[in-house]
């Protein structure tokens, strides 16, 4: 049996409004009356109807999370931080996986609005800010995580990708490598453009020339790393080192190199980006650029909930946070 405010009011011999004020900590209720109402509600095991409360307050206490690849171990860790932060604040979460498909991303954003979520955290696929944000109500709070359009006026929490790309490439240069390949996703992807910029800036700072023939693009999957390194191995002038845009690509590079009879790092040094759990496995020992994934997610949802509860509009109290990357050196490039 569902206990309602009406049941409590009848037991306490007060009005519905008095019960509501007492349960919600409002003024205008005598201390002894409030104590009696609270005791009755506890005895009856009263639980507020979240849907009804949401209709009254025009809130559903639900959030949307849109990520591009749930199979990439990076994103579940970000999602865990978001989920924990949401749960601590009394919000539930709808998780949407776009699989790097822009049409699916647009569909999920539309569906989340239909579900009347109070706000959305999104790791967008490309730098199509105008199309993405025009599809959303300007009153719907939105926070970008992991990546963000460069000219957005929304809040975001991201890693300093340019700095991360620089650190990865500089490490390989300091290890004595000059022929360094880059394997990533197509241009237009937010993080890839920035990490490629960091890669090129390291070459410039050390007076080296980028070999465009060893800068290759595919998608963010492990298979791409495997296929592209096999293509480079077929080239008699393959690079001596590779900076892969994420750890899944780097794992594919290592697999492809080893299956071709090459040793890592003896014949080919490899560094990735993200520091997913597999990177530290004894048989892998992948050098990488670490991101504070859980912290990134937790911070993003805290910004979103603050915007929801403070009634902030886009452009008001915007916080754009860049987290620091960390170079982790392991056997693959040592």
Q: Residue range 28-34: average pLDDT? A: 85
If asked whether residues 246 and 286 sit together in one domain, one would say yes
- Given its phi and psi angles, is residue 317 left (phi above 0), alpha (psi -120 to 50 degrees) or beta? left
Cα distances from 2 to residues 14, 18, 88, 151, 312, in angstroms, run 19, 20, 25, 50, 35
In a domain? residue 314: yes
If asked whether residues 179 and 278 sit together in one domain, one would say yes
Angle formed by the axes of helices 31-43 and 5-12, nearest 10° = 120
In a domain? residue 211: yes
CATH code: domain of residue 141: 3.40.50.2300
If asked whether residues 301 and 245 sit together in one domain, one would say no
If asked whether residues 133 and 168 sit together in one domain, one would say no
Phi/psi at 287 (nearest 5 deg)? -70, 145
Pairing of strands 288-290, 326-328: antiparallel
The answer to which of 118-122, 309-313, 323-327 has the lowest mean pLDDT is 309-313
Neighbouring C-beta atoms of residue 30, cutoff 10 Å? 11
Task: Give the model's pLDDT for residue 55.
Answer: 46
If asked whether residues 263 and 300 sit together in one domain, one would say no
In a domain? residue 55: no
- pLDDT tens-digit map of 161-198: 999 999 999 999 999 999 999 999 765 555 568 899 99
If asked whether residues 24 and 66 sit together in one domain, one would say no
The answer to whether residues 94 and 64 touch, using CB atoms and an 8 Å cutoff, is yes
If asked whether residues 187 and 280 sit together in one domain, one would say yes
The answer to whether residues 147 and 180 touch, using CB atoms and an 8 Å cutoff, is no
Confidence class for position 236, pLDDT limits 50, 70, 90: confident
Q: Residue range 94-120: average pLDDT? A: 91
If asked whether residues 165 and 283 sit together in one domain, one would say yes
CA triple 209-334-204, angle to 5 deg: 20
Task: Give the model's pLDDT for residue 302.
Answer: 93
Q: Residue range 237-249: average pLDDT? A: 93
Maximum distance among all Cα pairs of the chain, rounded to whole angstroms: 89
The answer to whether residues 8 and 36 touch, using CB atoms and an 8 Å cutoff, is no
Task: Give the model's pLDDT for residue 331.
Answer: 96
> How many structural domains compose the chain?
3
Task: Give the model's pLDDT for residue 253.
Answer: 96
Task: Give the model's pLDDT for residue 201.
Answer: 97
The answer to which of 19-33, 246-260, 306-320 has the lowest mean pLDDT is 306-320
If asked whether residues 186 and 279 sit together in one domain, one would say yes
Question: Closest Cα partner for 190 from 123, 136, 135, 141?
Answer: 123
Confidence class for position 314, pLDDT limits 50, 70, 90: low
Statement: residue 52 has pLDDT above 70: no
- 260 burial class (0-12, 13-18, 19+ CB within 10 angstroms)? middle
Confidence class for position 25, pLDDT limits 50, 70, 90: confident
If asked whether residues 181 and 239 sit together in one domain, one would say yes
Q: Residue range 288-315: average pLDDT? A: 86
Statement: residue 38 has pLDDT above 70: yes
Strand (E) or helix (H) holding 145? strand 142-146
Angle formed by the axes of helices 190-205 and 161-174, nearest 10° = 40
Tokens representing 294? 């859980």
Statement: residue 260 has pLDDT above 90: yes
Angle formed by the axes of helices 222-234 and 247-259, nearest 10° = 40
Task: Give CA–CA dist 121/2, Å, rounded.
Answer: 34
Domain hosting 24: range is 5-48
Q: Residue 93: helix, strand or coil by DSSP?
A: strand
Residue of higher predicted confidence among 251 and 103: 251
Statement: residue 221 has pLDDT above 90: no
If asked whether residues 142 and 175 sit together in one domain, one would say no
Q: What does pLDDT average to over the chain? A: 88
The answer to which of 14-23, 65-74, 159-168, 173-182 has the lowest mean pLDDT is 14-23
In a domain? residue 54: no
Residue of higher predicted confidence among 127 and 58: 127
Q: Residue range 69-80: average pLDDT? A: 94
Q: Residue 267: helix, strand or coil by DSSP?
A: coil
In a domain? residue 40: yes
Q: Residue range 133-149: average pLDDT? A: 85
Statement: residue 264 has pLDDT above 90: yes
In a domain? residue 310: yes
In a domain? residue 234: yes
Task: Give CA–CA dist 141/304, Å, rounded.
Answer: 7
Tokens representing 229? 């390194």
Task: Give CA–CA dist 157/320, Å, rounded.
Answer: 6
If asked whether residues 180 and 276 sit together in one domain, one would say yes
Helices (H) and strands (E) in the chain, counts: 12, 12
The β-bridge partners of 326 are 290
Statement: residue 134 has pLDDT above 50: yes
CATH code: domain of residue 13: 1.10.260.40
In a domain? residue 119: yes
């Amino acid at each position: 049996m569902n206990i309602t405010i009406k049941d409590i009011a009848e037991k306490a011999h007060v009005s519905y409004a008095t019960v509501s004020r007492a349960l919600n900590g409002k003024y205008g209720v005598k201390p002894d009356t409030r104590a009696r109402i609270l005791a009755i509600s506890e005895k009856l095991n009263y639980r507020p109807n979240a849907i009804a409360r949401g209709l009254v307050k025009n809130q559903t206490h639900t959030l949307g999370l849109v990520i591009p690849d749930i199979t990439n171990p990076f994103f579940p860790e970000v999602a865990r931080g978001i989920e924990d932060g949401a749960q601590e604040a009394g919000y539930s979460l709808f998780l949407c996986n776009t699989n790097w498909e822009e049409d699916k991303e647009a569909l999920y954003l539309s569906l989340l609005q239909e579900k009347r979520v109070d706000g959305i955290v999104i790791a967008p696929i490309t730098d199509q800010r105008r199309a993405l944000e025009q599809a959303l109500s300007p009153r719907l709070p939105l926070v970008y995580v992991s990546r963000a359009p460069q000219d957005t006026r929304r809040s975001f929490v991201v890693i300093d990708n340019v700095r991360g790309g620089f650190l990865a490439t500089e490490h390989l240069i300091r290890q004595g490598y000059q022929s360094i390949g880059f394997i990533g996703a197509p241009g237009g992807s937010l993080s890839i453009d920035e990490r490629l910029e960091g890669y090129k800036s390291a070459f410039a700072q050390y007076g080296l020339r980028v070999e465009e023939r060893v800068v290759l693009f595919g998608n963010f999957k492990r298979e791409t790393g495997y296929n592209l390194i096999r293509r480079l191995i077929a080239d008699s002038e393959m690079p001596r080192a590779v900076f892969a845009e994420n750890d899944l690509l780097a794992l594919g590079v290592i697999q492809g190199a080893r299956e071709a009879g090459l040793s890592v790092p003896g014949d080919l040094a490899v560094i990735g980006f993200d520091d997913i759990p597999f990177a530290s496995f004894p048989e892998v020992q992948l050098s990488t650029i670490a991101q504070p994934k859980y912290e990134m997610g937790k911070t993003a949802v805290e910004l979103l909930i603050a915007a929801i509860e403070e009634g902030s509009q886009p452009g008001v109290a915007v916080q754009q946070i860049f987290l620091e990357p960390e170079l982790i050196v392991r056997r693959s490039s040592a």
